[in-house]
Amino acid sequence: MDESEVLTDREAGGTGTYVMKKLPEVTLAFWIMKIAATTLGETAGDLFSQTMRLGYFLTTIALFLVFVVTLVVQLGSRRYNPFFYWTVILSTSMAGTTMSDFMNRDASAEYLSGGATSLGRGPQGLGLGYPAGAAILVSILVVIFAVWKLTGMTFVIRDITTFRGEALFWSAILVSNTLGTSMGDFLSDSSGLGYLGGALLVSGLLAVLLLLTRVPVVPNVLLFWIAFVLTRPLGATAGDFLTKPVAKGGLDLGTAGSSAVLLLVLLGLMGHAHLKERRKTAPGGEAVARGV
């Protein structure tokens, strides 16, 4: 059997047919890459919509199409590929950034800076505000999880092996990243905490979740999904802290420069994950190829 056909050590449905692992193990490296990808998603989304003046609406359409293309590649993959997986995570973060901005913002003065008179090309935004936008996104996310629950499929990502399960997983990821952007922007812009304060608050909440993993009665799957949502506002606030003007509490590093540095960091992490995966699938590695 070809090395690419390395299978998990879990049988599917007790039939003796082995299934291929499509999603990563949840480790410390996983969370580091998630935060890097979501921070890059924030700075890159702002780069296209604000710095390049494409506007939220047109950028959302373009980035959603990028998400669809990357998702098709991921769904068509026969095994876990770190480059495919994290590219989809990045595309959901970028699309989620501009989707959230289009839902929550409009062309009023509070969202404009530097003498700008508009938010860019195309429709200027729905102006729902962060609370209303978050309520809509939470409702959509609850519906996705309810449908997921009714299917009877697992919420544990390492055990998701079907097309339908993976489609539900990526739907939840896209909505959760959009919701996380709304939460991060609210903390940074409207709560009075500022960019650094918002990041510290989310970091504290993540630390509490880490402690709760030691509590047997709290399901780790629930903690995972809460953490997955919270790492998005952490990325949003961290991205804003890097790019926004000093007068607004940021470091004013710019969206282009910050995105370039974050992209290099993420590519380095993806390369490391790819090499680690290859070592697992090599003869004598952790995974064992089985003929079917």
Q: pTM of the predicted model, to two decimals? A: 0.80
Question: Largest alpha-carbon pair distance within the chain?
Answer: 66
> What are the pLDDT digits (tens) for 160-217?
878 888 899 999 999 988 988 888 878 877 777 777 788 888 889 999 998 998 888 8
The answer to whether 123 touches 107, Cβ cutoff 8 Å, is no
**233: Cα within 13 Å, side-chain hemisphere:** 29
pLDDT of residue 292: 28
Indicate whether 50 pLDDT > 70. yes
Burial of 60 (0-12, 13-18, 19+ CB in 10 A): buried
- Can you list the alpha helix ranges (DSSP code H) found in 152-219? 163-185, 194-212
Residue among 1, 43, 38, 41 nearest 20 (CA): 1
pLDDT of residue 6: 31
> In which band, very low, low, confident or very high, does the pLDDT at 60 lie, cut at 50, 70 and 90?
very high
Mean pLDDT on 121-145: 89
Say what the alpha-carbon torsion angle 64, 69, 75, 79 is, to the nearest 10 degrees: -120
